[in-house]
Amino acid sequence: MKTMSVKTNKKPLSAFQKRKKADNLAGYLFLLPALIAFVLFIGGPMLLSLALSFFDYNLIQPLEFVGLKNLKRFIADPQVRIAFLNTLKFLVILVPIHCILGLLLAFAVSRVRSGRMRSVYRGVIYFPTIVTTSSVAIVWVYMFGTDTGVINYFLRQLGGSNVPWLTDKNVVYLTVALFSFWKFIGTAFLYYFIGLQNIPDVYYEAARIDGAGTRQIFLRITLPLLSPTIFFVVVTNMIGVFQIFDEPFIITGGGPGTATKTMSLYIYQIAFQQMKTGYGCTLAFSIFLVILMMTLLQFGGQKKWVTYDYE
């Protein structure tokens, strides 16, 4: 009897020990494919682009070390200032649209009582995010045409005049903002919507018993409990908008003039149209640095307003 119990006790123990030993190897083996891909396509290229900033290179002729030449050019380049400012403009316009309107929409839909209607609204609002950006951007260009476009037709019918949606350097931001809302609001909306559903009902019930109104419930309960989701949406949104390329490339072509030329667009022009690979890398690395600083600032600031443990 005694020996048996020792035996049965020993077996799982040794298995456990074996498992513990194999853990380091198993952990890295499972990670290996991702790690290789990460080094090849994310981490490695990142470092390589820093290194290439110190070279002149056009993909054909051999590398030529030029030291800080590209950096000096970067500082003096008036196009950099334009592209950075335009990117910032998009950031200031688009991030609040997605982060705030997305939240309000999610809150509105989550208050709909009928489960079926709720899923209809959710489905429709999310739908544009799954369709091909470039195809719907083409549609957008037709709809927003100054003379032949559908939108201006209705404005004329309502007694307004033609709006230069794509040809005025300020109005064009409104056009892109409208497009961005329509096309991508679903992403932020869905994150919020799911975050809202993860908030336990007891909080709302308790608040209602205490006599809190909708606004108070939103400000005192929803917002704090949703703060991790809000943080996630803000951070990913800022990173995304800072890389904005498809919209200006397809809808406006960076124009009129240089009005919507963003950093991504400029990098594309420098690196792949003018074939100045080294300088392109300088520009690319500068975007990374800005995004890194932005994100670190946000992570630093999150302690002040993001609450993670409420259970």
Partner 1 sequence: MRQKKFEKMGKGFILHLFLVMLCVLMMLPFCWVFSTSLRLPGESFRLPPSFFPTDFYYQNYLDVFSKFPFARFMLNSILVAVTVVALNALVSTMAGYSFARIPFKGKSAMFMLFLAGMMIPSQATMIPVYIVMSRLKLVGSLWAIILPAIINPLSIFFIRQFMMTIPGSYEDAAYIDGAGRWQIYLRVILPMSKSVIVMTMLLNFIASWNNFMGPLIYLSDWNQMTLPIGLRMLQGYMGTGSIGIILAGVALSILIPTGLYLAGQKYFLQGMTLSGLKS
Residues 159-218 that bind partner 1 (CB under 8 A): 182, 190-191, 194-195, 197-198
Report the C-alpha gap between 271 and 264 in whole angstroms. 10
Residues 112-151 that bind partner 1 (CB under 8 A): 112-113, 117, 120-121, 123-125, 127-136, 138-140, 142-143, 148, 150
Name the one residue in this structure whose structure tokens are 């030529």.
64
Q: How many positions of this chain bind partner 1 (CB under 8 A)?
A: 95
Q: How far apart are CA 62 and CA 76, in angstroms?
A: 26
Which positions from 21 through 80 interact with partner 1, judged by CB under 8 A? 22-24, 26-28, 30-35, 37-38, 40-46, 48-49, 52, 59
For 19-151, strand residue ranges (E) read 55-56, 64-65
Quick one: which of 14, 157, 161, 170 contacts partner 1 (CB under 8 A)? 157
Among residues 83, 79, 50, the alpha carbon closest in space to that of 263 is found at: 83
Give strand ranges (E) for the chain.
55-56, 64-65
Contacts of 246 (CB under 8 A, 6+ apart): 133, 134, 137
Q: Does residue 103 interact with partner 1 by CB under 8 A? A: no
Does position 307 interact with partner 1 (CB under 8 A)? The reply is: no
Q: What are phi and psi of 280, to 5 degrees?
A: -55, -40
x/- map, 72-101, partner 1, by CB under 8 A = ------------------------------
CA 155 from centre of chain? 33
Least distance to partner 1 from the beta carbon of 229, Å?
Answer: 5
- Is 228 a binding residue for partner 1 by CB under 8 A? The answer is yes
Residue 305 binds to partner 1 (criterion: CB under 8 A): no
Q: Among residue numbers 278 through 297, which ones bind partner 1 (CB under 8 A)?
A: 280-281, 283-285, 287-288, 291-292, 295
